[in-house]
Copies of this chain bind each other. A is one copy, B any other.
Amino acid sequence: MKTLFHYNWQVREDWYMWCEDVPLEELLKERTGGVGGILHTLFHIADVEWSWIRAMQGKPDFQESFEGYRSLEKVRRLDAGFKPEVQAFVNAWNDSMEHQLMEEIGDERFTRGEIMRHMIAHEIHHIGQLSVWAREIGKEPVTANFIRRGLGAIIG
């Protein structure tokens, strides 16, 4: 499970680098599907990941909107600020946490194992959307391959 988080973090970093060569106007442009834009998607991914990590710890989540983060640098800085807490949580993960129930959200209760998988799938899904938009602006997307990333060695 942890390895899929490492995969997502690597892919996200690759997308930030990919964005460096794209005009801000294209990164901010409203597009069809998902949350409606490239940079907004990267913001959303970091926001949702951190918010679930916070929720699993019973802490308040991130409440700001994309409006305050409309540059590559701002989104990267926000993400970098979240990362240590996210990484600490994921790296401390062990199988005994799978079936631990979280506090109620609305009238729903999820296990931590469900939420971890939800987070993994959430990011990969949104990255798939970026790959379509990349082609729309005529640029090759970041590879989504899990293999050939040196992740075999840290599997767990």
Contacts and interface: CB of A to CB of B under 8 A. Distances in A.
A117 interface: yes
Interface residues of A, number: 43
A126 interface: yes
Contact of A131 (B98, B115, B128): B128
Nearest to A36: B135
B117 A3 contact: yes
A141 B145 CA distance: 24
The oligomer's copy count stands at 2
A84 B134 CA distance: 36
Given A33-B131, A134-B33, A114 B1 contact: no
A128 to B, nearest CB: 2
Given A4-B120, A98-B155, A125-B131, A147 B33 contact: no
Nearest to A110: B147
A32 B152 contact: no
Interface of A: 1, 3-4, 7, 31-34, 98-99, 108, 110-111, 113-115, 117-118, 120-122, 124-129, 131-136, 141, 144-148, 151-152, 155-156
Given A33-B134, A128-B132, A129-B129, 9 more contacts: A32-B132, A33-B133, A33-B141, A34-B131, A98-B155, A111-B155, A113-B155, A120-B146, A125-B131
